[in-house]
Amino acid sequence: MMPMRNRLSLGVVLVSLALSPMAYAQEAKLGSSVEGLLQAARERNPEIASMRFDADAAAERVVPAGALPDPKFRTELRDITRMGAQNPTLLPGRVGSTRYLLMQDLPWMGKRGLKREVAQSQAEAARSRAAGAWVELAGKIKTTYAELYYLDQNERLSREILDLMARLEKVAQVRYAGGLAAQQDVIRAQVEQSTMRNELIALDAERRQLQARLNALVGRPTSESLAAPEQIRPLPSLEQVSFAALEVRVRMNNPLLRTEESQIRVAEKNRELTLKNRYPDFNVGISPIQYRGSLKEWELMVEVNIPLQQDTRRAQERESEAMLAAARSRQEVVMNQVLADLYANVAGFESARRSLALTTDSLLPQSELTFRSALAGYQTGKVDFATLLDAQRQIRQTKLNQIKAAVDAQKRLASIESIVGEEQ
């Protein structure tokens, strides 16, 4: 029989071998969808991890902020020579007397609670900053993914046009051989193919740059490969992305506004805490006194700080008022900027959505009809090759415009989601 430890080790190895192909398949498919990239970024991006750790650290400051300070203990050895009757000694039972003092600082009523509330508001601000960092990163990932999708579709379309030009070259060669077309038609078809190959080289270089940027956003080495983007997210309707509906959600969920609201609460509590500094703090203590081997006296001690420096306190109070006013002004600035950005992106989304609909429903069918008509006319000798090339370029540009409108709408949607602070 195999020992229990060996059987467990073998089981762990078998499970690892079984799971490794699944992990490799998931890693190899990374980049095919924006959802997978966002999930990978949540787990790997070091900036997001650092912001979460900062928020965790801020949350741990709440309890210490409202806690009492540690008590103090003091020992006093009195008359260590017993009025010169003996050599100096540090033994409590042999000196004239030993005083033990246990002290505790007690702040004025309400100060501890205010300090705790300040720390809680600072922790909320840290959590809002972490949420803001995530929505900003998610927006960049969505935007870069949309740009990569555009390049991928552009490359696919360029290859289709390259194949089409190869077929048109054959048609031109057949017509040239039959004396129905000039040799210039064949040459122009070859030049057009060379131009398309040159564009493919440029698209490949740009694609590698975008993949490196996307890897950096996710938190992967820039040289690692990514799967080709398969599809973009479905677009919401224009009614779902209306400024009036989104404005309410922005005021509730925008991370920048939530951070500023937390900072206002911090300033308000700091102002209240500064006003409480008009009242004294206390220090209480109890002190037993030892004579020889027994405790024969007990003392009680109360210490109060006297808030006499009124000029200093009034200056601190004015400072806290100014900081509160500054926090409220910053919130107003952020609010105006956020709403302006929201309005601009909603307008841009509406424009891109309408442009996509117009291109898909009208321009693209008309361009395809024009190209088919030009191709049939060239084959019958009714139009020249230049007209056919113009029709081909028109249909290619229309398809590019269709893809570009869809990608622009995706980028606007990503910006709107970053502003709102949630998915649409």
Sorting pLDDT into bands at 50, 70 and 90, what band is 17? Answer: very low
pLDDT score for 192: 85
Confidence category of residue 423, pLDDT binned at 50, 70, 90? low
For residue range 240-288, what is the model confidence (pLDDT) as tens digits? Answer: 899 998 999 999 999 999 999 999 999 999 999 999 999 999 999 999 9
- Of 58 and 166, the one with more pLDDT: 58
Distance CA 420, CA 220 (A): 27
pLDDT band at 24 (very low <50, low <70, confident <90, very high): very low
- In whole angstroms, give the CA distance from residue 4 to residue 7: 5
Integer Cα distance of 374 and 138 in angstroms: 46
pLDDT at residue number 164: 84
Residue 214 and residue 144 in contact, taking contact as beta carbons nearer than 8 Å: yes
pLDDT of 198 over the 60 cut: yes
% of the chain surpassing 90 pLDDT: 62
On average, the pLDDT of the chain sits at 88
Q: Averaged over 127-140, what is the pLDDT?
A: 94
pLDDT at 389: 84
Q: Helix 385-420 crosses helix 183-218 at what angle (to 10 degrees)?
A: 10
- pLDDT range class, residue 203, cuts 50, 70, 90: very high
pLDDT at residue 13 above 80?
no
Note the maximum CA span of the chain. 138
Model pLDDT, residue 3 = 52
| pLDDT higher than 90, residue 2 | no
pLDDT the model gives residue 383: 78
Task: Quote the pLDDT of residue 329.
Answer: 97
Q: How many CB atoms lie within 10 A of CB 86?
A: 12
Nearest alpha-carbon partner for 258 in 422, 48, 42: 422
293 pLDDT higher than 90 = no
pLDDT tens digits, residue range 349-396?
999 999 999 999 999 899 889 888 988 887 777 878 888 888 888 988
61-74 CB burial, b ≥16 within 10 A, e <16: bbeebbeeeeeeee
pLDDT tens digits for 152-162? 999 999 898 88
Please tell me the distance from the alpha carbon of residue 335 to that of residue 329, in angstroms, as a whole number. 10
Greater confidence (335 vs 292) lies with 335
**Structure confidence at residue 172 (pLDDT):** 83
- Please give the share of the chain, as a percent, with pLDDT higher than 70: 93
